[in-house]
Amino acid sequence: MTEPLVDQKCVACRPDAERASDAQCIEWGEQIPDWQRIEVDGIARLERIFLLDGYGAAVQLTDRIAELAEELDHHPAILLEWGKVTVQWWTHKIGGLHKNDFIAAARTDLLAQAG
């Protein structure tokens, strides 16, 4: 068995890096079942909506995700609303999904569970 995504490190991604294949997306997606693969303007992304108890809890999760993004040097789109945080991970340099996005999603789940 491969190392869980949550325990892996993001690697520097170059503009010529290959996007994740459909098979890889399925395999890695099994470790982040609450995330959906979506497409925005023709670009694949991972998205999850976190429902929380009020605005303060949503702000706190957003802050923790922002800290994670800085740690990983990989930055998601985050939409903050009352009791709700929507997060989208994708790799801008390659215009799609990379293993880093799945690692970041798994680490985001861990943050949300830690509350």
| Annotated domain spans of the chain | 21-114
Q: Is the pTM here over 0.85, yes or no?
A: yes
| pLDDT tens sequence across 28-74 | 999 999 999 999 999 999 999 999 999 999 999 999 999 999 999 99
Q: Which fold has domain 21-114?
A: Gyrase A; domain 2 (3.30.1360)
Alpha carbon dihedral 59, 87, 81, 83, in 10-degree steps, equals: -70
pLDDT, tens only, 39-51: 999 999 999 999 9
Nearest partner of 98 among 34, 30, 43, 33, judged by Cα: 43
